[in-house]
Copies of this chain bind each other. A is one copy, B any other.
Amino acid sequence: MEPLLPYVAELNLVDHHCHGVLRDDVDRTGFEEMLTQADVVSPWGTSLFDSSVGLAVRRWCAPLLDLPPHAPADEYVARRRSLGAAEVNRAFLVASGITTFLVDDGLVPERLVGPSVFTGSREHGVIRLERLAEEVIIEGATGFPDRVRRALERAPAVAAKSIAAYRVGLALSGRRPTDAEVVAAGERWLAAGGGRCADEVLSRFLVWEALERGLPVQFHVGYGDRDLALHRADPSLLSDLLRATEPLGVPVMLLHNYPFHRGAGYLAQVFPHVFVDLGLATHSVGHQASRLLAEALEIVPFGKFLFSTDAFGLAEFYHLGALFFRRALSDFLLAGLRRHAFAEADAVRVAHLIGSENARRAYRLD
């Protein structure tokens, strides 16, 4: 295996989209259920350790728990439990070399805790728009738009996150809804019994309001858990909304994107406010991340690509996300250097843009 380029190995990464890590220990079933996007371990498949990410855990995470590389899955989970969640979380978070985290804590917050607890790193909040709406609608549809606005203004967050892909798909209209339309949608929602926010008008409204308040909006795009249909999570479906929101001059981030990462790169090229990443896929595909990142970097301007892990629950994902990202970025740059496609100074510059500078600029972190 090639050595990592030193300026990639040493990057202080900004993880612009991740979640918290588990407070408590998990057993083997619990671990496997968090290892992929599958909710359960299928009786028809074999262990989910039989996967790119499962093999990667045994190879690259085991040594950090003082086990040999490729330790068996049962030994790995047992060792993890014997060390305890706090020690495990600390080990993987420190190893990641991530120094700034943007954390979406909107999913099962009662089981999770922010990564900075273990590392003292900088941590910024990302507010989940649908969750906010679900909290605000409880007081009724009348006044809902203004209550959402006030909540966004008060939110201790540097960005907002939309999971429209899961709720209504990404084919959002470009038209900004009126307050009357939003109230009507809120009334329909309540009349249907409330619960999850799954309404195209509301998804759109939330995005517009966040952007109007200067909050960059992150969209879940592409694959994720089974609640979505992949063809409705194609980033191209956002084209109308991206065209309409461009004049606001506030960044929109397309997260994950697999397997639409090439199409996402197109959007980042043609829309001034659009950024993309390859989170989730980077650690999920394990040692194949190099090919994937190379594809993702084909047409995207290097000033528009971000690093993220999308780590959720298992602290291993911070370590693996950073590890495979560094490996893939180093491989990409080395291949270019070998072909004399660019000079070393360019490689250094691109590494820093993607590893941290783009995120600092886009989220105004400094």
- Binary contact track A289-303/B, C-beta < 8 Å → 1, others 0: 001101101111111
The complex places the Cα of A38 from the Cα of B297 at a distance, in Å, of 16
Q: Which residue of B lies closest to A344 (CB)?
A: B70
The answer on a CB contact under 8 Å between A292 and B301 is no
The answer on a CB contact under 8 Å between B299 and A281 is yes
Shortest distance between the CB of A117 and any CB in chain B (Å): 30
The answer on a CB contact under 8 Å between B55 and A342 is yes
The answer on a CB contact under 8 Å between B229 and A236 is yes
The answer on a CB contact under 8 Å between B272 and A304 is no
The answer on a CB contact under 8 Å between A225 and B70 is no
Stretch at the interface among A139-147, A148-156, A346-354: A346-354
The complex places the Cα of A259 from the Cα of B296 at a distance, in Å, of 11
The answer on a CB contact under 8 Å between A298 and B52 is yes
Stretch at the interface among A14-22, A127-135, A158-166, A263-271: A263-271
Contact partners of A70 in chain B: CB under 8 A: 342-343, 346
Which of these, B42, B231, B272, B350, contacts A45 with CB under 8 Å? B272
The answer on a CB contact under 8 Å between A286 and B341 is yes
- Binary contact track A250-283/B, C-beta < 8 Å → 1, others 0: 0100000011001100110111110100000100
Shortest distance between the CB of A58 and any CB in chain B (Å): 8
Q: Does A245 contact B (CB under 8 A)?
A: no
The answer on a CB contact under 8 Å between A269 and B37 is yes
Q: Which residue of B lies closest to A260 (CB)?
A: B259
Q: Does A43 contact B (CB under 8 A)?
A: yes
Q: Which residue of B lies closest to A238 (CB)?
A: B229
Contact partners of A237 in chain B: CB under 8 A: 229, 231
Stretch at the interface among A99-107, A201-209, A332-340: A332-340
The answer on a CB contact under 8 Å between B273 and A285 is no
The complex places the Cα of A302 from the Cα of B288 at a distance, in Å, of 14
- Copies in the assembly, this chain: 3
The answer on a CB contact under 8 Å between A231 and B229 is no
Shortest distance between the CB of A43 and any CB in chain B (Å): 7
Contact partners of A338 in chain B: CB under 8 A: 1
Residues in A201-257 with C-beta less than 8 Å from chain B: 223, 225-226, 229-232, 234, 236-237, 239-240, 243, 249, 251
Contact partners of A58 in chain B: CB under 8 A: 342
Contact partners of A45 in chain B: CB under 8 A: 272, 301, 303-304
Q: Does A59 contact B (CB under 8 A)?
A: yes
The answer on a CB contact under 8 Å between B262 and A259 is yes
Residues in A296-346 with C-beta less than 8 Å from chain B: 297-304, 335-336, 338-343, 346
Q: Which residue of B lies closest to A250 (CB)?
A: B44
The complex places the Cα of A350 from the Cα of B270 at a distance, in Å, of 35
Contact partners of A353 in chain B: CB under 8 A: 46, 50
* Chain A interfacial positions (CB closer than 8 Å to B): 1, 36-40, 42-48, 50-52, 55-56, 58-59, 69-70, 223, 225-226, 229-232, 234, 236-237, 239-240, 243, 249, 251, 258-259, 262-263, 266-267, 269-273, 275, 281, 284-288, 291-292, 294-295, 297-304, 335-336, 338-343, 346, 349-350, 353, 361-362
* Sample (6) of A-B pairs whose CB atoms are under 8 Å apart: A44-B303, A50-B303, A229-B237, A284-B298, A287-B335, A287-B339
